[in-house]
Amino acid sequence: MTKRAVVPMDCHGSMDPPSSPRTLPVGAVSLRNHGLREFSTGTIGDLIGLRNITMLDVSRNELWALPGLNQLQGLRHLDISRNWFEALPEGLVALKQLVGVDASYNMLRANNESLQLTRLATLDQLRRLDIGCNQKCCKKSHAEMIRAQLPQLEVLGISVAPDGSCPAPAGYFEGSSAAERDATVLRAQLEPWSTSALRRRLVADFGRPATDPATVNRAQVMAELLECYQAEPPRRVVLVDGTTVADHHCHDLLVELKKWVAATEASGPLTRERPSIQASHYMILTAPTEFITGSAKAHKAAAKLEAHASLWEVAQRAVDSVDPEFGSRFTALAVTHNFRGSPHIDKQNVGPFLGISLGDFPEGEGGILVECSARVVA
């Protein structure tokens, strides 16, 4: 068995590529990856004097505020990337010499309150603003709004939206969603992983040198990883038999599923609940225990469950027949028709689950495949 190497990571779980010690420019202060949860200008002021600081790097910490930032009157470059900022520091407005801000990998939103656009507009020297990898700042319309309010910018860094509203650079992804990818192709199986996870895999599982995000992009990381896999035998697939469900439960389930498909098709144009997944029909029913009493969402979920009560009941009986303890606590039921492999990382179904497939399948198909490690799928 290949032993997985230990990869240095920061407090966010992101790989921290090793770099050669470097001498900081005069006027630069780096508190990068110090595990900070609080910031004090007193600490850095004791080093070289607040007014002499031209570059401040507090990236890869756990900060959400920079009290006293306005005292750094000579600051030209600020790096607050990979922190917990929900809004850019208010003190930025006092920094009239500021040229560049890196606020990538935070929790910023595309509005004036979070991005401090009105205040940043008064900074005539500001030329570069990076808000990449902030999940709520990821659309072409966001970029257009920011550029309109900050005409002095020469460079704006902003991430790609999953819906493709900001086209991804060539080679970054194949297909805009799992539904557009061939599940039998290795790249489609790797595509759901974040770029950081792919970088870690290159180092931990294939012994390659760490890559620097500043110079090696996702397309290059993916290409190198696929080369590594191509030099080895195919990934091992382990087939595990599940628990047999009694025929009468399977029959009852199939009857209700066919009723559901027929009713859905008769109701008009199909609108799948998860269009990113390859399936003719897809529906999620929520257990009554999960309803938030009185909310509009709860009323809608309750009505939906009532309309499909028979389907829920037969599924409940099938689950109880193989695992009564799990049957007493599962919270949702996903129902699909003609589901086909769509490699993805499920961000909602994050707990244990049971699955059953009804139909005729070739040997080794009709089940769920889960990546156990870089080289094993079961």
Please give the single-letter amino acid code of residue 290. Answer: E
For the chain, how long is the longest CA-to-CA vector? 79
Contact 131, 104 (CB under 8 A): yes
pLDDT digits (tens, 9 = 90+) for 99-142: 999 999 899 999 999 999 999 999 999 999 999 988 788 888 89
CA-to-CA dists, residue 378 to 1, 91, 183, 289, 371, angstroms: 16, 52, 14, 32, 6
With cut-offs at 50, 70 and 90, classify the pLDDT of residue 8.
low
Which residue shows structure tokens 């966010």? 12
With cut-offs at 50, 70 and 90, classify the pLDDT of residue 265.
confident
With cut-offs at 50, 70 and 90, classify the pLDDT of residue 164.
very low
Pairwise CA distance, residues 261 & 255, whole Å: 10
- pTM recorded for the entire structure: 0.65
Q: Which residues contact 105 (CB under 8 A, 6 or more apart)?
A: 12, 14, 81, 82, 83, 132, 133, 134
- The shares of helix, strand and coil residues in the chain, as percent rounded to the nearest 5, are 35, 10, 55
Burial class (CB in 10 A: 0-12, 13-18, 19+), 350: exposed
pLDDT digits (tens, 9 = 90+) for 268-294: 766 667 776 778 888 889 887 766 666
**Average pLDDT value for the chain:** 85
